[in-house]
Chains A and B, each alone.
Chain A
């Protein structure tokens, strides 16, 4: 009887469309809950190259500092039903709305500019003017580092794809000119410092594409140009390109920019490894482990294929090549741009000590003394210098 009353009530009073859309809403909610509760979970999103949130742990501490709340909110988002489809759909909807950039967040510090959809399926990082002093402090700390060590120092600030291929950005897209940072670095350089200017070398106007379409790094050929310029600046003879064979090891590379703009119609990149044709026994020592090769091929089957170079970033790597053209020992502070340049550099240095300051917590000056370093260099993408502080890691001693 009561049920009948509800039904008649529904017919008479309730607006049918309201009832329908509310029904759809709650059906969606119900499906979502059931999915969250019972569907098998994945721990890692290959697409986005990040670990998905694990089930939150309810403890007094995690509630008090709010991390429990944050974690459960992320958990719901990360394990949402049809997540992949929704993300893809979102990219398409935004492109349909007329947008040509995605994933910006100006509320964050430093602000995130997101990704531009350039011509020819090329994605680019959006370059923003600096609103923090991160760059200024990094640049100053690196210059001070050079002065303190008193060793020859070579600074290679690498411009981003958006800087070098401005003509391929969406029409009239605003893009910060990284010459500003280059000029600041040049202006602050001490007597023992040589700044290697790659802006013309890597430019689109050379007729070559030196950047990945779907990743923020330079490609293997861009890295070679960077190597050539660096070694020339050091007054040495760079190993000619012909001494390397370039092996295509993947044509399905979808990099970091793709992760921010997931779209199934995106054309992937090809990834090439440079192989030195002459006899060479190059070893890479990472922590206690030593490898007989710089290429960690296990990464080729994963999403993050760029990590095939040296296996990504570690606090310290030591690369040795007894057959190198010189017996010099180089200390290199760097970000991931250097990883694809180092294979070329091994032909010239018997030892390269690679330090990623983001993960390094020792006294770098002591390290230099203990290892008999003869020259120093920094390979950094300008964007990284603007966003991630490494200054405090150089202040020791």
Chain B
């Protein structure tokens, strides 16, 4: 089930909310847990058992790790838990890629396992890993109540597309949280913001991005328009999804971490990654980069650590080598920034710092959006002039999509948010205009949903 659907908004959500607020306190987590299972089983009637297995397994492992903490057994227990979790992720997500790659390198013809990827497995695996590691480190106590633990793993707002919430962050809220009208209404507004981003911006940008990719061999103009469209599409899609997740969690009294902070206003690639998919970045920092030694080691080791983290970050996004390449590309840029590039950047005007960071992101997204790396190189070459300047697709797209791209660009800067906030604070008239605007956007969003417009789901590879 996806948030941006009529069924979710008009059936699932009101039913969950009604039951949640009607049942007594001690059943509230159970209610969330059961509805979350329903939410997951809706699209994955079989794989819900895989998620339940992961939940049960990590619950038990958490107990043992805590019981044997500070004894020689705790480390093997943790390693066992990590192996099982990553083993499942590896089997369901990467076995196909692995066999294909072995086949193509060795000329063998091993049967490629046809395993459908369970939606959200990368997200909940990382969350359950964080649970066991946090216990091992003594940063959080093991959860006694399996329903509470299940609620942490399966909580539907963040189940299929993040944010990746560390156990330590949510541990206390599972037992002690207060649902307030303030949180509820802030959540409702946040959900709407996410819905608008997804339906009005991302889905419409997707049409342009997909069209350029479908037509193939783009001119310089088409290549740029397609790349820009995808750049904005993935931002509004992903951050919109996170907004909806945060808003929904808020309605139930939870506070979950922010995931995006205007990444396209960054002035360096390192800054971009502090603003893009923040919870994933901090997961890798916390559980991979720092344990490897982080930057408190020799420069060579630091470079190695960065390289490992970024290739892993890349491949996390999908079982295809273009994602690894995309991760490596960012690793390289960030290593360069650490070594020398940042010093150079500091000397050029702010505008060029931004331009460099933004272009780096746009080119990165080309490698991300084309599964075939050769095609991606073709598009990047086309963007830099190795193709006819314009074709009919480019001109047509420029005319018909310019308003959308301009609005998307404005919304990805802080400008729209600043203006909206100013409007809200400028007295009653401003508040009325702001509210009326929201209602209009809600109606328009509904028209896209009812009109059955293109509504792709981007995270089925994650």
Contacts and interface: CB of A to CB of B under 8 A. Distances in A.
B451 interface: yes
Interface stretch (A22-30, A209-217, A280-288): A22-30
A20 B186 CA distance: 10
Interface string A1-27: 000001001100111111111111110
Interface stretch (A61-69, A309-317, A339-347): A61-69
B184 interface: yes
A77 B404 contact: no
B193 to A, nearest CB: 10
A17 B454 contact: no
Contacts of B435: 17, 20-21, 24
B400 A107 contact: no
Contacts of A171: 395-396, 399
Nearest to B9: A29
B186 A15 contact: yes
A100 interface: yes
A73 B431 contact: no
A357 to B, nearest CB: 28
B405 to A, nearest CB: 10
A16 B188 CA distance: 12
Contacts of B210: 106-107
Contacts of A264: none
Nearest to B222: A174
A98 interface: yes
B340 interface: no
A32 B456 CA distance: 24
Nearest to A16: B431
Given A29-B14, A90-B447, A21 B399 contact: no
Given A21-B192, A90-B451, A97-B404, A104 B6 contact: no
Contact of A33 (B14, B431, B443): B14
A82 to B, nearest CB: 8
Nearest to B191: A25
Contacts of B213: 106
Nearest to A116: B396
Nearest to B454: A105
Contacts of B344: none
A105 B192 CA distance: 25
B249 to A, nearest CB: 15
Interface of B is mostly: helix
B392 A173 contact: yes
A91 B451 contact: yes
A128 B403 CA distance: 24
A20 B436 CA distance: 10
A172 B215 contact: no
Q: Which of B216, B404, B435 has the most CB of A within 10 A?
A: B435
B6 A111 contact: no
Given A22-B185, A33-B14, A128-B214, A98 B450 contact: no
Nearest to A13: B182
B207 A73 contact: no
A83 B452 CA distance: 11
Contact of B189 (A18, A63, A101, A174): A18
Interface in A102-124: 104-107, 111
Interface in B182-220: 182, 184-189, 191-192, 204, 207, 210-211, 213-216
B393 interface: yes
Contacts of A33: 10-11, 14
Contacts of B180: 9, 13
Contacts of A39: none
A173 B186 contact: no
Nearest to B403: A98
B181 interface: yes
B388 interface: no
Interface centre among A18, A69, A87, A111 (most CB of B within 10 A): A18
A17 B447 contact: no
A90 B392 contact: no
Given A87-B450, A104-B207, A106-B211, A172 B395 contact: yes
Interface in A223-256: none
A86 B399 contact: no
Contact of A14 (B185, B393, B399, B424): B185
Given A105-B454, A106-B207, A26 B396 contact: no
User: Which of B401, B442, B443, B451 has the most CB atoms of chain A within a 10 A radius of its CB?
Assistant: B451
B392 A98 contact: no
A15 B421 CA distance: 12
Interface string B26-56: 0000000000000000110100000000000
Given A86-B447, A98-B402, A76 B395 contact: no
Contacts of A98: 399-404
Contacts, number: 158
A172 B211 CA distance: 15
Contacts of A173: 392, 396
B434 interface: yes
B20 interface: no
B431 A17 contact: yes
A90 B453 contact: yes
B186 A18 contact: yes
A66 B45 contact: yes
Contacts of A21: 185, 188-189, 192, 435, 438-439, 442
B13 interface: yes
A97 B7 contact: no
Contact of A29 (B10, B184, B391): B10
Interface string A316-335: 00000000000000000000
Interface in B2-16: 5-7, 9-11, 13-14
Nearest to A85: B447
Interface string B243-257: 000000000000000
A22 to B, nearest CB: 3
B6 A76 contact: yes
A152 interface: no
A99 interface: yes
Contacts of B42: 69
B449 interface: yes
A213 to B, nearest CB: 21
A170 interface: yes
A262 to B, nearest CB: 8
Interface of A: 6, 9-10, 13-26, 28-30, 32-33, 36, 63-64, 66, 69, 72-73, 76-77, 80, 83, 86-87, 89-91, 93, 97-101, 104-107, 111, 128-129, 131, 170-174
Given A21-B435, A32-B10, A111-B214, 19 more contacts: A9-B180, A13-B181, A15-B182, A22-B187, A24-B439, A24-B442, A25-B191, A26-B14, A29-B14, A33-B11, A66-B43, A66-B45, A80-B10, A90-B448, A93-B448, A101-B400, A170-B396, A173-B392, A173-B396
23 contacts: A9-B180, A10-B181, A15-B182, A17-B438, A18-B189, A20-B435, A21-B192, A22-B184, A25-B191, A29-B14, A33-B11, A63-B45, A72-B11, A76-B6, A76-B7, A76-B11, A91-B451, A93-B448, A97-B403, A101-B400, A106-B207, A174-B215, A174-B392
Q: What 4 pairs between A and B have smallest CB-CB spacing?
A: A22-B188, A90-B451, A106-B210, A86-B450
Interface of B: 1, 5-7, 9-11, 13-14, 42-43, 45, 180-182, 184-189, 191-192, 204, 207, 210-211, 213-216, 391-393, 395-396, 399-404, 424, 431, 434-435, 438-439, 442-444, 446-454, 456
